[in-house]
Amino acid sequence: MYIITGGAGFIGSNLVRALNRRGIEDILVVDSLLETKKINNLADCKIADFVDLEDFRDQLLSDRVSHSVQSVFHQGACSDTMATDGRYVMSLNFDYSKLIYHWCQEREVPLVYASSASVYGAGLIFSEEPENEHPLNAYAFSKWLFDRYVNDHFSSRKAQVVGLRYFNVYGPREDHKGRMASVAWHFFNQYRSEGIVKLFEGSGGYESGLQQRDFIYVGDAVGVNLYFLDHPQISGIFNVGTGKSQTFNEVARAVINGCRQHDGEEPFSLSQLVSEGIIDYIPFPDALVGKYQSFTEANISSLREVGYQEKFLDVEEGISHYLSERLN
């Protein structure tokens, strides 16, 4: 059996589908369905069982989880970077993660878990060394602290443990995320409903729309998970991004022109999109001052060094894949 926490969520449900494509259906999904939109993410998936995340915590504590588990993918978390209830964030992201970690180690079960590039904060160096880590919010702090916990216990591990520091992931099955969905999702919905896309004005020393992130297509993020499933001898914490930052302007243009192409319209240049008012720059929110990453770019040398050589899609390629599912 394979266990996927957060298996009804964004990356988790894409991982379920990827395992299904391998012919694997003996999957236990752990999640909360308080947000019922997540059900749509599993409607075309084949799983063996579903357990609520709180019931699963009780099962772990009372040792009532099957001992025939082959691997655990711990994707579940409170991912709201604006969350103000630090106790809740730490309970779910740190305490729960420690519980799963020790359960896996005691039974020598491989564990691949979701970390986050948010641990780097407003820094400009994105490689997996402690001196580069400066979390700016409760979510980032919880992920950073669990990474440190794993590193502190690394030499005594009995089974594979891999932390994946996801950069900005986008793609299918993120509708339920709402405000926390990717910018690609927001841009698509804005354009289809209003005919315009709203970007932030200049911030963090960057001109309007020129803030840069490392945007990675969800299929590529899933591919990294499967690589470590296939290579249980490898452990460590690794960045999961393309290694190339691109601007919010580029994402917006790719989304808009992808929609225009679908509608039989000619693509526009960035200057045309701005002059036509299709791209609109809005004031930077006060609530994000000091909590916003204006630039990210994954250093993926550690991932390459352990043998992962697959090519990552750039924004134009990834958005094309994304829109083919949304528009067809």
Walk along the chain (328 residues) and give the pLDDT tens digit of each residue.
999 999 999 999 999 999 999 999 999 999 999 989 999 999 999 999 999 999 999 999 998 998 799 999 999 998 877 788 899 999 999 999 999 999 999 999 999 999 999 999 988 899 999 999 999 899 999 999 999 999 999 999 999 999 999 999 999 999 999 989 999 999 999 999 999 999 999 887 899 999 999 999 999 999 999 999 999 999 999 999 999 999 999 999 999 999 999 999 999 999 999 999 999 999 998 887 777 788 999 999 999 999 999 999 999 999 999 999 999 7
At 230 the pLDDT is 98
Q: What is the CATH number of domain 2-167+216-241+298-313?
A: 3.40.50.720
At 328 the pLDDT is 79
Cα separation of 140 and 138, whole Å? 5
At 125 the pLDDT is 95
Cα separation of 77 and 115, whole Å? 9
User: HSE on the CB side for 11, CA within 13 Å?
Assistant: 32
User: Residues 15, 172: contact at Cβ < 8 Å?
Assistant: no
At 81 the pLDDT is 79
How many CB atoms neighbour CB 48 within 10 A? 13
Residues 297-321 have pLDDT tens digits of 999 999 999 999 999 999 999 999 9
Q: pTM to 2 decimals?
A: 0.95
Cα separation of 324 and 222, whole Å? 18
Would you please indicate which residues are annotated as catalytic (active-site) residues? 139, 177
Domain boundary assignment for the chain = 2-167+216-241+298-313
Q: How far is CA 163 from CA 74, 171, 209, 248, 265, in A?
A: 9, 21, 31, 27, 43
At 247 the pLDDT is 97
At 257 the pLDDT is 98
At 108 the pLDDT is 97
At 116 the pLDDT is 97
User: What 3-state DSSP class applies to 157?
Assistant: coil
Cα separation of 250 and 313, whole Å? 14
CA 144-149-155 angle, 5° bins: 130
At 226 the pLDDT is 98
At 289 the pLDDT is 78
φ/ψ of residue 166, rounded to 5? -70, 135
